[in-house]
Amino acid sequence: MRDILITLIVFGSLPFIFKVPAHGALMWVWVSVMNPHTQGWGFATQLPFAMIIAVATMASMLLSRTPKSLPMTPVSVLLLLFVVWMNVTAPFALIPGPSWVQWNKVMKIMLMSFVVMMVIRTRTDIIRLVWVLVVSIGFYGVKGGIFTIRSGGTERVWGPEATFIGDNNALALALIITIPLMFYLQQNSDQRWVRRGLTGAMVLSALAALGSYSRGGLLAIAAMCLFMWVKSGKKVALGALLCLLGPLLLAFMPERWAERMDTINTFQDDISAQGRLNAWQMAYNLARDRFLGGGFEVSDAGIFARYAPNPQAVHAAHSIYFQALGEHGFVGLAIYLALGWASWRTAATIIKLSRGKPELAWALGLATMCQASMVGFAVGGAFLSLLYFDMPYYLMAALIATRILVEQHVKAQRAVPLRKTPAAPAKSGMAGQP
């Protein structure tokens, strides 16, 4: 039944995609982020839904008369530069076979990220994009939260297998990125049942993130909540809510969860933490030795034997920053950091231009919550190999489109001349004369 439902949704969307390219972008985001086919048990797990939607979206863009040029903003230019640099480093990869497999996967993600940036242009499309992201990740948050309650927190929450968020740590970070977006939609919804549903989804997603037993996730959710509190216009109310829910959620988790979180303070004795430090040192040494880095997929015993302090402890980078450094060198890391900074500044610009304008309140709230998501990703990503996770790139697309709309609105307001009071007609003759 699940396979039939997913197949009907995908193929049923094709007529709408051919009519409006933005619909294809939204469907692509849903399929690539949620991976709904993984929830099936039969034929749907083998069908190339992503390819079908991508081809349909490309065809729709060619047939459509709507504008489809890539907005040339600091974010899009830096992302394009990052893609170009990855194509420079890929031919010099230390492990060509696996590197080209990963290159193929990453280039598809980047291509469709640019497509999303090209076709998401209106406020309606932006809000729909946020909804798609919330539903896609929120599904696993609600599901994982219920699982955590049923198991009493004794079992870990995992994401869908063979996806970016299949790992428990990756799922936790994806949920943390999504919670601010849920909060944004909740604050901007007129429907009481929607607000209540999103409130429940936020609580369950937070519980699922804790139920993942991710230590990096705990640090990320703490940083994200702190940022949301600082930026909130209702610090007392939000602070009271966090102080109430935080201890309740933590108290619900069992002792084994608390013991694992305590290893944050004793990382020097933790094998997993030491393995990550070893991988980080390897990436640094590799980047120092090779200007172009090692190319995609450098978690190899031979590479660790040459560059790692402990050649026997072969681990993935477990950090978006050291992953960029090891695979694409210092130049790649610099471009990636600049991309993150440009995204932050784009949100800051939206906030600055929207402040004090009720008609742009939607943009102000979205940019603020995107910054909260970026804080969570920047902290949690320091401990995970999610450099190519596509959700942050879709948030960049939302910010690009929002900034363009805000700047257009502000420019239009400034162009409207002030209405002048018409001057009184001059009196003829001398005073006192008729």
Domains in the chain, number: 3
Note whether 150 and 61 are same-domain residues. no
At 161 the pLDDT is: 85
Note whether 380 and 335 are same-domain residues. yes
Six-digit token string for 389: 């996770």
At 34 the pLDDT is: 93
At 258 the pLDDT is: 76
Helices 21-34, 49-63: inter-axial angle, 10-degree rounding:
160
At 30 the pLDDT is: 95
pTM reported for the whole predicted model = 0.90
> Angle at CA 47, nearest 5°, toward 46 and 49?
135
**How confident is the prediction for the chain on average, in pLDDT?**
88
Q: What amino acid occupies position 382?
A: A
Six-digit token string for 369: 């919550």
At 317 the pLDDT is: 87
Note whether 82 and 130 are same-domain residues. no
CB contact at 8 A, 333 and 320: no
- Residue 131 CA, chain-centre distance (Å), reads 13
| Within-domain flag for 375 | yes
At 63 the pLDDT is: 87
Note whether 59 and 16 are same-domain residues. yes
| Within-domain flag for 427 | no
Cα(88)–Cα(82) distance, integer angstroms: 10
Note whether 211 and 235 are same-domain residues. yes
SS3 state of residue 41: coil
Note whether 140 and 252 are same-domain residues. yes
Note whether 77 and 200 are same-domain residues. no
Given 230, 250, 265, the domain boundary residue is 265
At 357 the pLDDT is: 92
Note whether 255 and 273 are same-domain residues. no
| Within-domain flag for 393 | yes
| Within-domain flag for 281 | yes
| Within-domain flag for 420 | no
Q: Can you list the residues of the chain whose pLDDT is less than 50?
A: 419-421, 424, 426-434
At 253 the pLDDT is: 80
| Within-domain flag for 419 | no
Given 237, 265, 293, the domain boundary residue is 265
CB contact at 8 A, 279 and 299: yes
Q: What is the dihedral of CA 38, 179, 354, 413, to 10 degrees?
A: 30
Per-residue pLDDT of 159-185, as tens digits, reads: 888 888 988 999 999 999 999 999 999
Residues of the domain holding 153: 123-265
Note whether 137 and 197 are same-domain residues. yes
Note whether 305 and 241 are same-domain residues. no
Note whether 98 and 230 are same-domain residues. no
| Within-domain flag for 114 | yes
Note whether 322 and 407 are same-domain residues. yes
| Within-domain flag for 434 | no
Cα(112)–Cα(26) distance, integer angstroms: 11
